[in-house]
Amino acid sequence: MDVSRWSDRHDEDESPDAETLRAELEAKGYMVSRHVYRPGTYFDEHTHRRDKIDAVVSGRFRMTAGGEEVVLEPGDWASIPAGTTHTARVLGDEEVVSLDATRT
C-alpha cells in the first residue's frame, strides 16, 4: 500500500478540498466517485479486481493491507493494487467523505 500525504503534495497554507483531490486522481487515470461513510463503518477483508485509490476529503480513515496500517486524514490517499487484501475503518465520531478512485 502506497500512501500520499496532502502535506507532501501541497503548500502548508493550502487546505484539502474535493475538487483538487478529484483532479489529481483523474490526472493519474482514475475514475472517481464520492462516498460518505458513517462513524463506526468497517469494511472487512476484501480485494478489488482493479487498482484503487481511497482519498479522504474529511474525517479519518484507518486502512490495513499487507500487515501495514495507516491513518488517512483530509487530503491523504492510499493506493491499493488490484488483488491486495485490505480493510478500512472510519475513526472517531466524524463521517468520512471519501473519493473512491478506480483505474480506468
- Regarding pTM above 0.85, the answer is yes
For the beta sheet containing 42-46, the strands, ordered from the edge strand earlier in sequence to the opposite edge, are 42-46, 86-91, 60-65, 68-72
pLDDT for 3: 97
Domain limits for position 90: 2-103
Q: Exposure of 65 by Cβ count < 10 A (0-12 exposed, 13-18 middle, 19+ buried)?
A: buried
What's the domain count of the chain?
1
The CATH number covering residue 88 comes to: 2.60.120.10
The predicted pLDDT at position 12 comes to: 86
Average pLDDT per consecutive 10 residues, the chain (104 residues; last block may be shorter): 95 94 96 98 96 97 95 97 97 97 90
Could you write out the three-class secondary structure of 25-82? Answer: HHHCCEEEEEEEECCCCEEEEECCCCCEEEEEEECEEEEEECCEEEEECCCCEEEECC
pLDDT reported for residue 56: 98
Greatest CA span in the chain, whole angstroms? 37
Q: What pLDDT was estimated at residue 66?
A: 87
Cβ partners under 8 Å of residue 27, min gap 6: none
